[in-house]
């Protein structure tokens, strides 16, 4: 159960990362031109600054999960088994402690195991920032 929860979180983060990189590529391919007038010794000179959206600091946002704690109540049982080489192995089994489980087995939720997972947002890694710069430079060199 915990493995499935963590795998689902990783899959969601991978999807968010893919969408983030697609956003980076789109911004790198978006041309931006800023025109302005500068007063130079009494003369107005028209000037332009050109670049992609990334060069002007426009960034997509990462999907972030706000800091939270997931609490799972589970009935944990351990079974000891012996294999053919007389070595003991331990198998852990978990069952969700819900109303159906409590009624079926006359189980007291106070005796359940509690697993707490804390989820916090993290900033992009240095590798991710380098990848963003590489995409921006690649698009800039195409122009």
Host domain of residue 132: 1-65+122-143
Regarding whether 57 and 12 lie in a shared domain, the answer is yes
Regarding whether 56 and 34 lie in a shared domain, the answer is yes
What is the 8-class DSSP label of residue 53? G
User: pLDDT tens across 25-68, in order?
Assistant: 888 888 889 898 888 888 888 999 888 888 888 877 766 566 67
Regarding whether 61 and 12 lie in a shared domain, the answer is yes
Regarding whether 130 and 101 lie in a shared domain, the answer is no
**Any idea what the Cα angle at residue 80 is, between residues 74 and 83, rounded to 5°?**
135
Those residues whose C-beta lies under 8 Å from the C-beta of residue 120, and which sit 6 or more positions away, are 65, 67
Regarding whether 134 and 105 lie in a shared domain, the answer is no
Regarding whether 29 and 8 lie in a shared domain, the answer is yes
3-state SS class at 115: strand
Strands of 68-82's sheet in order across: 88-96, 68-82, 113-119
Domain count, the chain: 2
User: pLDDT tens across 67-80, in order?
Assistant: 677 777 777 777 78
Regarding whether 110 and 57 lie in a shared domain, the answer is no
Regarding whether 78 and 61 lie in a shared domain, the answer is no
Regarding whether 34 and 18 lie in a shared domain, the answer is yes
| Mean pLDDT over the full length of the chain | 78
Regarding whether 22 and 89 lie in a shared domain, the answer is no
- Cα dist from 67 to 35, 58, 122, whole Å: 42, 26, 10
For residue 16, the model assigns a pLDDT of 80
Report the range of poorest mean pLDDT among 7-11, 22-26, 105-109. 105-109
């Amino acid at each position: 159960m915990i493995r499935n929860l963590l795998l689902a979180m990783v899959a969601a983060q991978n999807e968010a990362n893919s969408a983030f990189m697609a956003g980076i590529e789109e911004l790198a391919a978006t041309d931006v031109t800023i025109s302005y007038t500068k007063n130079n010794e009494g003369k107005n000179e028209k000037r332009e600054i050109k670049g992609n959206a990334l060069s002007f600091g426009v960034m997509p946002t990462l999907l972030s999960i706000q800091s939270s704690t997931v609490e799972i109540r589970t009935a944990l049982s351990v079974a000891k088994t012996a294999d053919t080489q007389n070595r003991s192995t331990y198998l852990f089994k978990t069952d969700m402690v819900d109303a159906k489980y409590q009624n079926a087995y006359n189980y007291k939720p106070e005796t359940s195991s509690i697993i707490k997972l804390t989820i916090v947002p993290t900033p992009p890694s240095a590798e991710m920032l380098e990848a963003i710069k590489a995409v921006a430079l690649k698009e800039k060199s195409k122009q």
